[in-house]
């Protein structure tokens, strides 16, 4: 396996990992995958890896001897939508567009199929009690209950309580009905503390009425929980990694396997920029690209740098200034800077 295939395998097993890239003065590149369990035994760069885990964002560290780039990775974030009604339709599409791997579960064949949910990664037609244990709930999952009634909500919550705790659980419903359901579940032995972590009524209060508006209010709450976590939710990673790009690096498409390639990664940013640290773009020797680091003239310039690196080998650090006159002439509203790592893929 290449290093990125190994990285994917690691995060599937351990939920999260750090990839430490050592950029040597002789233009060579070394990469090492580190899990939390391995931190105590790590002799080199243990402090940097620990900081990356703690802060949840990439760190670029320059010393006299070498330059080290440490990136956090975690299991793919899934949005598990329990219920296949009208709100689920819009929610599945919008959640997919902002980077979630969407899974929809419903026990009715008419509501649970790929024709109805083309944006979903997976659609499961089965009872909630049967489907939820098969999903392998993990700490980076976001679970949304939009079933057709509180009987089914109760089935979902009883089953979820026996699984690993996801990052987020939200449930649609009126305050009165939700309060009654929580009381009933507590009498059955489900922890009140666990029940109080459920976001309900779900979504931010924005006066949403239509299914599309309700789905936007749900996603607004999800984004807030993801990007502005409370202290007990420090598991969130503040990285702009596109998991689809990571999968492409782990398994290069057949028609691209014989082409040389380079990776452009945003190592750090300041101010207003189109993409944040962690975003990646693959550049092939014929000029074809996958992923994005912000688009526009800056991305085109970086693609040119990447093609040169493909010819010469090694790596380089490139600074992109979006506050200059060229950015203004392009009509860009950004006003920040980006530090970019461009490296050849061996």
If one counts the domains in the chain, the total is 3
Residues 245 and 227 in one domain: no
Low-confidence ranges of the chain (pLDDT < 70): 1, 232-236, 324-334
Query: What pLDDT, on the 0 to 100 scale, is given for residue 322?
Result: 84
Residues 100 and 142 in one domain: yes
Residues 205 and 250 in one domain: no
Residues 113 and 140 in one domain: yes
Query: What pLDDT, on the 0 to 100 scale, is given for residue 230?
Result: 75
Query: What pLDDT, on the 0 to 100 scale, is given for residue 234?
Result: 55
Residues 143 and 210 in one domain: yes
Query: What pLDDT, on the 0 to 100 scale, is given for residue 227?
Result: 84
Residues 205 and 301 in one domain: no
Residues 70 and 205 in one domain: no
Distance of alpha carbon 239 from alpha carbon 16, whole angstroms = 13
Tens-digit pLDDT profile for residues 251-289: 988 888 889 999 999 999 999 899 999 999 999 999 999
| Contact call for residues 170 and 143 (beta carbons, < 8 A) | yes
3-state SS class at 138: coil
| Contact call for residues 318 and 300 (beta carbons, < 8 A) | no
109's tokens: 């064949």
Residues 123 and 224 in one domain: yes
3-state SS class at 165: coil
Residue finishing a domain among 233, 268, 286: 233
Residue finishing a domain among 201, 233, 265: 233
**Structure letter (DSSP) for residue 32:** E
Order the strands of the 168-171 sheet from edge to edge. Answer: 122-125, 101-106, 78-82, 141-145, 168-171
Ramachandran region of residue 134, left (φ > 0), alpha (ψ -120 to 50) or beta? alpha
Residues 202 and 261 in one domain: no
Query: What pLDDT, on the 0 to 100 scale, is given for residue 324?
Result: 62
Residues 83 and 61 in one domain: no
Query: What pLDDT, on the 0 to 100 scale, is given for residue 196?
Result: 96
3-state SS class at 318: strand
Beta-carbon contacts of 166 under 8 Å, excluding residues fewer than 6 positions away, are: 80, 137, 138, 139, 140, 141, 142, 143, 160
Q: Which domain holds residue 16?
A: 1-74
Query: What pLDDT, on the 0 to 100 scale, is given for residue 1?
Result: 54
Query: What pLDDT, on the 0 to 100 scale, is given for residue 235?
Result: 52
Query: What pLDDT, on the 0 to 100 scale, is given for residue 281?
Result: 97
Residue finishing a domain among 25, 56, 74: 74
């Amino acid at each position: 396996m290449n290093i990125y295939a190994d990285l994917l395998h690691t995060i599937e097993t351990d939920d999260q990992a750090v990839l430490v890239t050592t950029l040597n003065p002789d233009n060579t590149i070394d990469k090492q995958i580190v899990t939390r369990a391995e931190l105590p035994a790590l002799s080199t760069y243990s402090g940097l890896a620990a900081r990356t885990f703690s802060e949840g964002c990439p760190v670029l560290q320059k010393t006299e001897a070498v330059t080290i780039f440490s990136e956090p990775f975690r299991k793919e974030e899934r949005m598990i939508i329990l219920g296949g009604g009208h709100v689920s339709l819009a929610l599945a599409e919008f959640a997919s567009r902002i980077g979630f791997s969407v899974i929809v579960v419903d026990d009715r064949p008419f509501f649970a199929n790929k024709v109805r949910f083309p944006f979903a990664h997976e659609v499961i037609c089965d009872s909630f009690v049967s489907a939820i244990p098969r999903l392998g709930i993990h700490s980076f999952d976001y679970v949304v209950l939009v079933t057709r009634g509180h009987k089914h909500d109760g089935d979902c919550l009883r089953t979820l309580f026996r699984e690993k705790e996801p990052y987020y659980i939200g449930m649609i419903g009126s305050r009165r009905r939700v309060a009654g359901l929580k009381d009933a579940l507590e009498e059955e032995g489900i922890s009140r503390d666990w029940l109080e972590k459920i976001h309900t009524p779900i979504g931010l209060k924005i006066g949403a009425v239509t299914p599309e508006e309700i789905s936007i209010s749900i996603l607004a709450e999800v984004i807030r929980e993801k990007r502005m976590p409370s202290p007990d939710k420090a598991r969130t990673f503040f990285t702009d990694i596109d998991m689809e790009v990571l999968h492409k690096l782990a398994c290069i498409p057949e028609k691209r396997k014989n082409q040389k390639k380079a990776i452009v990664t945003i190592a750090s940013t300041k101010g207003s920029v189109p993409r944040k640290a962690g975003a990646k773009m693959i550049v092939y020797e014929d000029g074809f690209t996958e992923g994005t680091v912000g688009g526009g003239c800056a991305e085109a310039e970086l693609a040119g740098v990447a093609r040169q690196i493909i010819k010469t080998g090694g790596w380089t650090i490139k600074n992109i200034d979006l506050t200059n006159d060229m950015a203004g002439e392009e009509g860009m509203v950004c006003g920040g800077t980006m530090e970019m790592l461009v490296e050849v893929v061996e």
